[in-house]
Amino acid sequence: MILALLLIPLLAGAAAFAIRGDSLRRGFWLAAAAAHAALTVACWRHAPPPVLGGWLGLDAAGLLVLGAASALFLAATVYGIGFLAREEESRLRLGARRRNESEPVFTGCLLLFLAAMTLTAAARNFGLLWVAVEATTLASAPLVFFHRHARSLEAVWKYLVVCSVGIALALGGNIFLAASAAGGGSPLGFDDLARMGPRLNATWLRAALVFLFVGYGTKMGLAPMHTWLPDAHSESPSMVSALLSGALLNCAFLALWRASRVASAAGQGELAGTLFLVLGAVSLGIAAVFVLGQSDYKRLLAYSSVEHMGILATGAGLGAAGAYGAFFHAVNHSLVKGMLFLSAGNILAAYGTKSVERVRGLARTLPWTGALWAAGLFAVTGAPPFGTFVSEWTILRAAAAGGRWGVLVFFLAALAVIFLGMSRAFLSMLQGPKGGAEKAREPVSAWMPPLVLGAAALALGFGAPGFLDRILREAAGLP
């Protein structure tokens, strides 16, 4: 089962490079995404047994990350097929003034990206986890460079260098981790390390934790290592931004969570918790500063991702109840950010600009996208009745229950500032007379996927349904 989950996108990705016919390749792509989603649903119903001698397996945390990635990939695929067709059309209309990346390479890298994320979710060993996370960077770099112009080139160079260096430090963390376990069985399996617990050498383990948090924290977009994120997210095609923000950042969070589990087992849980809280607070603070007065709506969404990763880190630093909220928030954030980035793609296609100032009258010009954008404002700022509200509330309650009043006050203050910044930009885009758009046209493939994601986020506003609640509890270690 797990092998099939990995092999489907891997083989389909390899095949996509070779298929020449556009419609055949797109059909193949959709089929692979649907098959992956169907298998993921099957895994959610019955957790599959570990394979390859325990190197691959899906626990509750892995299932959550996999589920979010697979659902978002399917939505992005439906959206993307329409997007590529329209790109092709507009390119023919404008003449070959600007070349895009060739479609086989784009599709192939997307599917390989999904395979790498699946491997991240299923890895049961820190070494394999590292290989998988680095592979996500490499598979997604060509995706950021879809529109071949100077700005996306700059974004892709920063993405490659900053993330590769970050992940290289995480490799150092792995080596320290193995050094702390020297002499004990197979190195770096999650279960083996957790079983060794207090027998791990404390000095090396603490060094390992710091390196792992800086390394995977870079990839998760936690400030101050977030510098690649706004550029890569704003310059990619919107469907790629949705995947980077909604699916990839969760994968990095999963890696940090794995490290913190080993730390708790070894009696170093306090250090891991402090690292989570400090990085979370810095991310919330930086996001609040840059959201205010942001003039580019895709960068606005990117900084909002930094904010939400800060929320995840804060939740994970607040014990099991907070971790429940963090995992729930990860699911909510994936849905909401997927919906918003796909909507942003529609706005960009219609208005031809990423500037908040120059988009006016969205509600009248693009009725579907306008409605989604308005709902998205409430969803992304954690207002009821969306799932984000419930998960943020859970994290706040965990902070109060633990007596962490400083954390609670700072968290609320940052969210309030971000709400102001986001609502100012979103409302000014929505209001105004109709017009300003070069071509106001909304095909079904452009509004249906974000609508479905948004509806799911809304449904989670009534709390996690039974099957999700069970997995969230298991992932967070609650009874």
Phi and psi, residue 183, nearest 5°: 95, -5
Q: Nearer to other proteins by C-beta: 224 or 384? A: 224
Q: Which of residues 294-353 bind other proteins (CB under 8 A)?
A: 294, 299
Dihedral pair phi/psi, residue 123, rounded to 5° = -65, 140
What mask of x and - would describe binding to other proteins in positions 35 to 64, judged by CB under 8 A?
--------------------x---------
Going residue by residue from 394 to 413, which x/- string records binding to other proteins, judged by CB under 8 A? Answer: --------------------
Stretch that binds other proteins, among 230-238, 317-325, 382-390, 434-442 (CB under 8 A): 230-238
The residue among 154 and 270 lying less far from other proteins, judged by its C-beta, is 154
| Contact stretch for other proteins (CB under 8 A) within 64-72, 200-208, 426-434, 461-469 | 200-208
Among 234, 314, 332, 346, which residue sits at the site for other proteins (rule: CB under 8 A)? 234
463 binds other proteins (CB under 8 A): no
DSSP secondary structure string, 45-92? Answer: HSPPPPBTTTTB---HHHHHHHHHHHHHHHHHHHHHHHHHHHHHHHHH
Distance CA 272, CA 260 (A): 6
- Please report how the helices 269-291 and 202-220 are oriented relative to each other, as an axis angle in degrees rounded to 10: 20
Pick 53 or 479: Cβ nearer other proteins: 53
CA distance 43 to 6: 13
**Quick check: 258 binds other proteins (CB under 8 A)?**
no
Binding residue for other proteins, selected from 165, 409, 412, 444, defined by CB under 8 A: 165
Q: Which residue has the tokens 């996500």?
A: 136
Nearer to other proteins, 183 or 466 (CB): 183
Tell me the CA distances in angstroms from 306 to 108, 246, 281, 303, 332, one per residue in order.
28, 12, 11, 5, 15
> Residue 475, class by beta-carbon neighbours within 10 Å (0-12 exposed, 13-18 middle, 19+ buried)?
buried
Q: Is 171 in the site for other proteins (CB under 8 A)?
A: yes
Q: Applying CB under 8 A, which part among 26-34, 171-179, 272-280, 315-323 lies near other proteins? A: 171-179
What Å distances lie between residue 84 and 77, 203, 231, 342, 453, CA to CA?
10, 52, 22, 13, 20
The nearest distance, CB 310 to other proteins, in angstroms, is: 17
CA distance 133 to 248: 9
What is the distance between the alpha carbons of residues 459 and 260, in angstroms, rounded to a whole number?
A: 31
Phi-psi region of 426 (alpha: psi -120 to 50; beta: other; left: phi over 0): alpha
Contacting other proteins within 98-157 (CB under 8 A)? 125, 127-128, 130-131, 134-135, 137-138, 141-142, 145, 148-151, 153-157
> Which residue among 168, 348, 448, 459 contacts other proteins (CB under 8 A)?
168
Residue 1-40 contact track with other proteins, rule CB under 8 A, x = bound: ----------------------------------------
The answer to whether residues 123 and 7 touch, using CB atoms and an 8 Å cutoff, is no
Nearest to other proteins of 104, 127 (CB atom)? 127
Peptide bond into 367 cis (omega under 30): no
Q: Which stretch binds other proteins (CB under 8 A): 6-14, 172-180, 264-272, 320-328?
A: 172-180
Specify the residue, 178 or 210, whose C-beta has the smaller distance to other proteins: 178
Q: 219-233: string of b/e by CB count within 10 Å (b at 16+)?
A: bbbbbebbebbbbbb
Cβ partners under 8 Å of residue 18, min gap 6: 104
Residues 272-301 that bind other proteins (CB under 8 A): 290, 294, 299
Closest to other proteins by CB, 231 vs 474, is 231
180 scored as a contact of other proteins (CB under 8 A): yes
Interface pick for other proteins out of 164, 353, 423, 445 (rule CB under 8 A): 164
Provide the token pair at 141.
């770099």
Cβ–Cβ < 8 Å for 247, 77: no
Question: Judged by CB, which is closer to other proteins: 26, or 354?
Answer: 354
Q: Min. distance of Cβ 349 from other proteins in angstroms?
A: 21
Q: Which is nearer to other proteins, 245 or 391 (CB)?
A: 245
For residues 176 and 327, which CB has a smaller minimum distance to other proteins in the complex? 176
CB of 377 to other proteins, least distance (A): 21
Which of 147, 204, 385, 428 contacts other proteins by CB under 8 A? 204
Any alpha helices (H) in 352-465, and if so which ranges?
Answer: 362-365, 367-380, 387-401, 405-430, 444-459
DSSP 8-state secondary structure symbol assigned to residue 440: -
Query: Which span sits near other proteins by CB under 8 A: 9-17, 68-76, 165-173, 410-418?
Result: 165-173
For residues 361 and 440, the answer to whether their CB atoms sit within 8 Å is: no
**List of residues contacting other proteins (CB under 8 A):** 55, 125, 127-128, 130-131, 134-135, 137-138, 141-142, 145, 148-151, 153-158, 160-161, 164-165, 168, 171-172, 175-176, 178-180, 182-183, 186-188, 201, 203-204, 230-231, 234-235, 290, 294, 299
